[in-house]
Structure 1
Amino acid sequence: MKKLLTAIALSGLTTMAMAETQAVTVIVSDASNMTQGMAMVLANQMQAQGAQVDILLCDQAGALALKEAGGEALKPNDVTPAQLLNAAMQKGATASVCALYLPNTGYTQAQLKEGVSVAKPDAMASAMLEKQRKVFSF
């Protein structure tokens, strides 16, 4: 009986911890290297503080999702926004390009980094409407 109660208590704590995870959507469309960089720095910091981060890239920022993404390194850590995106993804962030990006730029899904998807507007809108989700746009 004691083992059963312990298991139930641990299950409840796990459920509470999962429920307390903050869901965050970071939308980046700005062409500015510094703005893209700050968005990625903040996404990584939110992750470090326990948030589940979903990154949506559109317009000029969609280039961060390309395999060939380069960019100018930013001080003080000499990293590019694309490298910061990679770091966030390696730690569990999801990344997608907006549904308009590929058809309007001439790029193909094959040119996207591994793990980057094409956002589905209905699913993205549904996620953005979640009561506990925070949405940030850069």
Structure 2
Amino acid sequence: MLKTLLSAALVAVTLPLSAAVSAETAAKPALVTVLAAPDAQTQMMAMVLTMQSVKQGSKARILLCGPAADLALKDAPASATKPQKPLGVGPQDLMRKLMSQGTPVEVCAIYLPNRDSGPDVLLDGVSVAKPPAMAGHLLAENARILSF
């Protein structure tokens, strides 16, 4: 009888601990950062928040549209590369760091055709988004969307 009571007490004590551990180790949501803002500070903040999410365990991906897709250009405008305070790097630099850590970066499917350009103008590793696949990422059950 005493053995049964001790076993029940042990289960009662460890059950809440195991629930806390499993909640803590549960998969982080997938993050999709959609960036279209032309402003360098907004672009930088989008990269900072995406980087922080990755550091906290989220799998992220970045979709660049409109003027923000200029971040993906090999010959990017000065606003994409100009260092921002307090980090001392530009939005493109932080985006490249995210890419080096495995974060996919894509430009909107209509970006290059409307520039009369091909994918050769993009940084190595940046691809053109496929709308059905991107819609799948946006609609995924565990997705969180940051939109700038």
One fold, TM greater than 0.5? Answer: yes
TM-score by length of 2: 0.78
* Residue 77 (structure 1) shift: 1.6
Q: Distance in 2 between matches of 1:32 and 1:125?
A: 25
Q: Distance in 2 between matches of 1:19 and 1:100?
A: 36
* Residue 106 (structure 1) shift: 2.3
* Residue 18 (structure 1) shift: 9.2
1:49 paired to 2:56? yes
Change in 2 beyond 3 A, CA 1:133/1:18: farther
4+ long deviations beyond 3 Å: 16-19
Which stretches in structure 1 are left out of the alignment for 5+ residues?
Answer: 1-15
Q: What RMSD over aligned residues (CA atoms) do the two structures have, in Å?
A: 1.8
Instruction: Name the residue aligned to 1:5.
Output: none
Q: Distance in 2 between matches of 1:19 and 1:112?
A: 36
* Residue 75 (structure 1) shift: 0.5
Match of 1:106 among 109, 116, 136: 116
Instruction: Name the residue aligned to 1:7.
Output: none
TM-score by length of 1: 0.83
Match of 2:41 among 22, 30, 34: 34
> What secondary structure, in the 3-state scheme, does the structure 2 residue paired with 1:86 have?
helix
1:66 paired to 2:87? no
Instruction: Name the residue aligned to 1:22.
Output: 29
> What secondary structure, in the 3-state scheme, does the structure 1 residue paired with 2:109 have?
coil
Query: Sequence identity, in percent?
Result: 41
Letter in 2 for 1:128: L
| Residues 118-129 of structure 1 mapped to structure 2, 5 A cutoff | 118-129=128-139
Letter in 2 for 1:51: S
> What secondary structure, in the 3-state scheme, does the structure 2 residue paired with 1:89 have?
helix
* Residue 93 (structure 1) shift: 0.5
Q: Distance in 2 between matches of 1:117 and 1:17?
A: 34
> What secondary structure, in the 3-state scheme, does the structure 2 residue paired with 1:56 have?
strand
Q: Distance in 1 between matches of 2:39 and 2:87?
A: 18
Q: Which has the larger radius of gyration?
A: 2
